Amino acid sequence: MVILHFITRFNKSSWLYRLHNKMNEYKDIKSYVVCLYNSTETSNVYELSKKYKIKSKLIKYIDRFLFLSKKNIPFSSGLFGINTLKDKRVIRLIKSSDVINIHWINQGLLSIKDIVKLSSLDNKQVFWRFYDSWPFTGGCHVRMKCENFVDGCGNCPNLKIKRKNDITKLIFNYKKNKLSNKNFKIIAPSSYLEKQIKKSPLFSQSKIFVINNGIEKTYNFDRDKLIKKYQLDKTKKYILFGATDTSLIYKGYEYLKKSLDQMNYDFKRNVILLTFGRFTKNLISDYKIINFGFINDRSKLLELFAIADVFVGPSLEESFGNVFLESLSVGTPCVLFDELGASYDLIEHKKHGYIVKPLDIEDLSKGIVWTLDNSESLRENCINRINEKFLLGNITKKYLDLYNDG
């Protein structure tokens, strides 16, 4: 079986990086990737040339101009493409493939027209894996509980000027014209995202398959040695929070801040907040904060998860949440909001952490305290959760079974 994946950015932190490498361990499987940017040395990856990157940057600029947002919300129109499907090598890869899997393809790698064209190919199994809400909205990747897409978007709460027939309405109608009568085979990484897709009028004819993300293995770190290595105080409790960019509104830092602000004096004195990712402002003055910056080294990131007594991920929306996988894989319980992502599939309340009532500051505070008090007793549960359900080998097999039977 020859499988061809399309993704804009292929790097070691992407889910496809794990999946692609695991697929190529099978003797009878050949996995290939077409991407715009490749920061790995992985084989069977075709990175498009510089001329395509220039076109992509222009499209990114146009999309930013179209979506005058009052919030830092990622947006893609999907109206424009860089002509990826006209590249000679891409044409050859498509012809030789049995299965085509579309992933995160924004910034022009594939336009909406390109997606329709691929899905209409004869003698090919074509799947579309949703990474966020973009496929079923008028351009927003992150909705933050907005339900406008159910009725066709418009009056977008993220735009500076609210109008019924705004750019999101126009894009939604364009998608409806191109996508709604197609029988797509959609892969959702979580039950949460599946639930949202089913609300959409764009994909009522499509089949939806839920396959969670996976991780290679679980890890057993010596926590005391790590605390010594990073010159930390072993008498303190450690809360970990992080994302690629922690200032992004939908990562929920403000909710963490408010929940920690209302803690009592003893709690504030005995807790240190560890963060990773771009972190521009120390907004919590009552706590010692140690920011490790943007981390490219995954082994270092896993060590931070292992040091922490709890990982708090108060995101306002996650299609799945790989950070929670990383946390559980080293035995660190998690605190997160219910109905907003990984809580549906990954975390069981008070077994692998604490599931907080959506956007409830008081319950978030309660969950952090409870998990800190019970962290040690939950560690084995967290490891077992990964081994039982989320190992990469088992997840990859689900993909291959779907490709064969879908």
Is the domain of 399 the same as that of 346?
no
Residues 6+ apart with CB under 8 A from 149: 133, 136, 137, 138, 143, 172, 199, 200
Is the domain of 234 the same as that of 370?
yes
d(CA 208, CA 205): 10
Selection from 52, 14, 50 nearest residue 33 by Cα = 14
Q: What's 242's domain CATH number?
A: 3.40.50.2000
Is the domain of 197 the same as that of 281?
no
Task: Give the relative orientation of helices 361-389 and 253-261 as an angle to the nearest 10 degrees.
Answer: 120
In this predicted structure, what is the pLDDT of residue 280? 62
Number of domains in the chain: 2
In this predicted structure, what is the pLDDT of residue 70? 66
In this predicted structure, what is the pLDDT of residue 282? 55
Distances (CA, A) of 334 to 14, 24, 75, 84, 247: 21, 32, 29, 40, 20
Is the domain of 251 the same as that of 277?
yes
Asked if 301 and 276 touch (Cβ cutoff 8 Å), the reply is yes
d(CA 71, CA 65): 14
Is the domain of 315 the same as that of 276?
yes
Enclosing H/E stretch for 208: strand 207-210
Distances (CA, A) of 88 to 28, 97, 119, 222, 290: 26, 15, 19, 51, 49
- 3-class secondary structure, 203: helix
Is the domain of 380 the same as that of 398?
no
Is the domain of 71 the same as that of 60?
yes
What sign has the CA pseudo-torsion 5, 6, 12, 15?
negative
In this predicted structure, what is the pLDDT of residue 66? 86
Asked if 322 and 213 touch (Cβ cutoff 8 Å), the reply is yes
Strand partners, 272: 238, 288
Consecutive 10-residue runs of the chain (406 residues): their mean pLDDT? 98 93 96 97 97 96 84 89 97 98 98 96 95 96 92 91 91 96 94 94 95 96 96 96 84 92 92 87 74 89 98 91 94 93 86 95 97 97 97 97 90
Tell me phi and psi for residue 31, to 5 degrees.
Answer: -110, 130
One-letter amino acid identity for 280?
T
Is the domain of 236 the same as that of 307?
yes
Is the domain of 237 the same as that of 181?
no
DSSP 303-355: HHHHH-SEEEE--S--SS-HHHHHHHHTT--EEEETTSSGGGTT--TTTSEEE
| Range of the structural domain that residue 281 is part of | 223-389
Is the domain of 88 the same as that of 202?
yes
Is the domain of 195 the same as that of 279?
no
Q: Per residue in 109-143, pLDDT tens?
A: 999 999 999 999 999 999 999 999 999 999 999 99
In this predicted structure, what is the pLDDT of residue 64? 87
Is the domain of 384 the same as that of 399?
no
